[in-house]
Amino acid sequence: MKIWFKRYLLLMPLVIWLLIFLVFPYCYIFIQSFFETDNFGKTIPGVSLDSYKRAFSNSLYIGTIFRTLMYAVLVAIICILLSLPLAYWIAFKVKKNKTFMYTLIALPLWVSYIIRAYAWKIILGREGVLNTFFQWAHITDKPVEYFLYSTFSTIVCLVYILTPFVAIPIYTAFEQIPKSLIEAAKDLGAGSFTTFRKVVFPLALPGIISGGTFALVLTMGDFLSPLLLGGPNTLFISNIVQNLFGTSNDRPLGSAVGILILLLIFLIIAIAARAEKKYSSLKSDAR
């Protein structure tokens, strides 16, 4: 009894903290999504599906969820395409200073989000680095307006911020491939591209899927990139939630949309986990 008590005494502060400041808040927005609002925007407790009905019937909500999902898929694909050569190069071509190269990919992850987003503002701006460079080099004679404050700049920023998240699991997957398998493929006469397509890529697929999932999920939940770099027509679902809790002040609807985002993310993670399992079975077949 005494030992049992001591054990839990050490664990309890964390458990209590997480319950009060994390689990209860999550439960509360679930409950709040069934509340109603009166004409003055005041939240009235109750049990109603009104918010969900509104979320599903208005294309501003349901449409934006799907549009954001499309953007997220695009961001994930670009991140994977950028990560593949980088991860491949460090895993198979770089012989010296591998740890240093790995640190180079991981480091931007830890650099302040706001700084990395701000960088694109001075690069893509009307009088920014890229436009003035183009004019200086006589590639264009007028500044390109759509570089900044557009969906384009938002996507560029998200790709930039999320690429390290995708590159790390892909690199780890490449590193885990036994070098003997690659040598065997080469000995049997496969070219380097065939080896990549038939040996390296299938074996690294679980890593590629988990990297892509990171990009997908993080884009779904990002509200800062669109806020900082987006144009008047750039609307991501997180910005709608942020507005519903801010200026629009419709917390039940905001909670409902938030719950829908969470459900979609859980679905994506579940599908990805199944796909990872399915393709990692290749590994045991290859024994």
Question: Which of 105, 185 has the CB closer to another protein?
Answer: 105
Residues 19-48 within binding reach of another protein (CB under 8 A) = 20-26, 28-29, 32
* Token pair in block for residue 214: 């990171």
Given candidates 59, 97, 176, 192, which one binds another protein under the rule CB under 8 A?
192
- Give min distance, CB of 16 to another protein, in A: 9
Residues 47-76 within binding reach of another protein (CB under 8 A) = none
Size of the site for another protein (CB under 8 A): 78
How far, in Å, CA of 72 to CA of 69, rounded? 5
Residue 245 interacts with another protein (CB under 8 A): yes or no: yes
Given candidates 86, 170, 204, 209, which one binds another protein under the rule CB under 8 A?
86
> From the CB of residue 18, how many other CB atoms can be counted at a distance below 10 Å?
11
**Those residues with Cβ within 8 angstroms of residue 187's Cβ, 6 or more apart along the chain or in another chain:** none
CB of 129 closer than 8 Å to CB of 238: no
- Give min distance, CB of 54 to another protein, in A: 17
How far, in Å, CA of 244 to CA of 68, rounded? 17
Residue 120 interacts with another protein (CB under 8 A): yes or no: yes
Residue 194 interacts with another protein (CB under 8 A): yes or no: no
Residue 90 interacts with another protein (CB under 8 A): yes or no: yes
The separation between the first and the last C-alpha atoms of the chain, rounded to the nearest angstrom, is 49
- Give min distance, CB of 102 to another protein, in A: 10
Residues 211-230 within binding reach of another protein (CB under 8 A) = 217-218, 220-224, 228
* Token pair in block for residue 93: 């071509």
How far, in Å, CA of 30 to CA of 257, rounded? 10
DSSP state, residue 40: T
Given candidates 123, 155, 168, 256, which one binds another protein under the rule CB under 8 A?
123
Residue 5 interacts with another protein (CB under 8 A): yes or no: no
CB of 257 closer than 8 Å to CB of 237: yes
Given candidates 44, 111, 270, 271, which one binds another protein under the rule CB under 8 A?
111
Residue 10 interacts with another protein (CB under 8 A): yes or no: yes
41: region left, alpha or beta (phi > 0 left; psi from -120 to 50 alpha): left
> From the CB of residue 136, how many other CB atoms can be counted at a distance below 10 Å?
8
Q: Is residue 147 exposed (0-12), middle (13-18) or buried (19+ Cβ within 10 Å)?
A: buried
- Give min distance, CB of 223 to another protein, in A: 5
Phi, psi at 43, each rounded to 5°: -80, 130
* Token pair in block for residue 282: 């290749």
Given candidates 62, 69, 73, 119, which one binds another protein under the rule CB under 8 A?
119
Given candidates 128, 249, 250, 283, which one binds another protein under the rule CB under 8 A?
128
Q: Which stretch binds another protein (CB under 8 A): 64-72, 172-180, 254-262, 277-285?
A: 254-262
